[in-house]
Amino acid sequence: MNYDEEYKRAKKGSGTFWKPNVGSYTVKILEEGTERTQEWEGKTIEKLGIPIDVDGDQYVWSVTKANSLISTYGQLMAVGKFKGKLKGETLTVVIMKQKGRDGREFNKVTIVEAAKLIAGDQ
């Protein structure tokens, strides 16, 4: 058994979903994405599953649909609007920890290219 390889595989987390830690990542979007729904705590949540490549590893980036340009979904839609597509785009994604109003921590996602596009549209 190759413990190094097994450790790396286990460290990535469950499945093929991208679960980034705090840091900066170069993310290449491989496909436009697929709309889907998820049931959670009795609610139906609309999501977008986008195949991506991060440092040579392929994942699905599962993004909740939201009605805000500061949301991950809103930032991705800004890139799509101004570039005409998502497929093939390479993005710089910055992940920071932030506390919500309820005191729980969550990942705050900033897509650098989207921030520039949104700022230029103001």
- The secondary element (H helix, E strand) that includes residue 112 is helix 112-120
**What fold does the segment set 13-120 form as a domain?**
OB fold (Dihydrolipoamide Acetyltransferase, E2P) (2.40.50)
Domain ranges, ordered by start, for the chain: 13-120
Top-confidence residue, 6 or 54? 54
Q: List CB contacts of 60: < 8 A, sequence separation 6 or more.
A: 16, 17, 18, 49, 50, 51, 52
Q: What average pLDDT does the segment 114-122 reach?
A: 84
Q: Does the pLDDT of residue 12 top 80, yes or no? A: no
Nearest CA among 114, 97, 99 for reference residue 27? 114
pLDDT of residue 40: 85
Q: What average pLDDT does the segment 91-97 reach?
A: 97
pLDDT of residue 121: 74
